[in-house]
Amino acid sequence: MTTVRREAFGRMPPEEGGGEVEKFVLQSDSVRVEILSFGCIITTLETKDRDGQFSDIVLGFDTLEGYTRKHPFFGAVVGRVANRIANGRFNLNGKEYQLFINNGPNSLHGGAKGFDKVLWSPEVLPNGVRFFRLSPDSEEGYPGDLKVWVTYTLSGRELAINYQAQTSKTTPISLTNHAYFNLAGQATFPILLQGSQDVYDHKISIEADSYLPVDDTKIPTGEVAAVQGTGFDLRQPVELGKHLQKFHLDGFDHNFCLHKGQDRRLVARVFHPPTGRTMEVHTTQPGIQFYTGNNLDGSLKGKGAATYPKHSAFCLETQNWPDAVNKPHFPNVLLHPGEEYNHTTWLVFNAA
């Protein structure tokens, strides 16, 4: 049985239109999640450890002000196109489109004001909440009026996120949620004030035989490389800290190529031995970006005044492959009029 509650969370600044931001609290016996109508942001995600104790396992802020200021997409839905597009440019039907450049020479997560920085219209469901917005033609440089629905539903230990979209003109689209996880839980985050908390003790596995090597601006080179014999082979669980040391890696910020298929499949699993928490990721998407919070630097004040240093969280962003609009041999990222974009990701939480 899931309960759904809505409450006021704050108001947008006057220069942003001053609209009211609501918070939706979804609760089952084993999971409690809070989601904002601003950016469809997951602000809180509480799950049980092996002793049955709830703790918050995502990074974020206590107030709306934290989310309206610049931050690394904590908990937000990003789009129209998640991840990077090289030089913020692509060609469609003989026309070149130029997007906003916001990540070195590239466009990242939708541009200057992506889906993470706007108010969505909410609708309460029996076991969740559905958000809607219309992204107008040429918003952030993208073609077509795009209608988008993001639906969060909670059932027992499973949080499902469904993304649907329809367009009036052919457009690239790839949506994901950018939650930052630390399965140790918020109870231990005050330790972050000393900068000692990290995700090195997490054990992770990703069901991928190949990954995408990137250039120095994090754009895929176009090669689809086998993980076999490399530090990117995560098909068997590895302890993150030891694995990074062994392969002299500064962290991950790479797309892993998932086994083809439109059906739900298990693609990643994370286990935190000290608390017994596990998180499984299931999805219909062709890729998953594994990011280890390499750019966190302790400068942001998060929940309870905690600081979030480098490697204090990880992201598992289910999505299409980065820069697919410029790489014809990557999975199709284009949505045409009359078609529907429809993808779901499931997060399943357990304690052992």
Residue 272 known to be catalytic:
no
User: Could you tell me how far CA 19 lies from the centroid of its own chain?
Assistant: 25
What residues contact 55, with CB distance under 8 A and at least 6 apart?
A: 46, 47, 49, 184, 185, 186, 187, 188, 275
Question: Is 180 part of any known ligand binding site?
Answer: yes
- Chain-centre distance of CA 98, in angstroms? 24
CA distance 249 to 233: 13
Half-sphere exposure of 129 (CA within 13 A, CB side): 23
- Which of these is catalytic: 22, 139, 140, 317? 317
**What single DSSP character describes residue 13?**
-
Question: Strands, E, within 127-200: which ranges?
Answer: 128-135, 146-155, 158-167, 171-172, 176-177
> Does the N-terminal peptide bond of residue 80 adopt cis geometry, omega within 30 degrees of 0?
yes
CA max distance for the chain: 60
Give the separation between CA 284 and CA 32, rounded to whole angstroms.
24
163 is annotated as contributing to ligand binding: no
Look at residue 188 and give its three-state secondary structure: helix
Neighbours of 304 (CB within 10 A): 12
> Known catalytic residue: 339?
no
Report the alpha-carbon distance of residue 73 to residue 302 in Å, rounded: 13
CB distance 34 to 42 below 8 Å? yes
- DSSP three-state, residue 141: helix
On whether 83 is known to bind a ligand per the annotation, the reply is yes
225 assigned to a ligand binding site = no
| Pairing label, strands 146-155, 107-108 | unpaired
The token duo for 108 is 């990242």
Annotated active-site residue in 178, 282, 311, 343: 178
179 is in an annotated binding site: yes
Q: Is 89 annotated as a binding residue?
A: no
Instruction: Summarize the annotated binding site as residue ranges.
Output: 83-84, 178-180, 253
Instruction: Summarize the annotated binding site for beta-D-galactose as residue ranges.
Output: 83-84, 178-180, 253
Active site residues: 178, 317
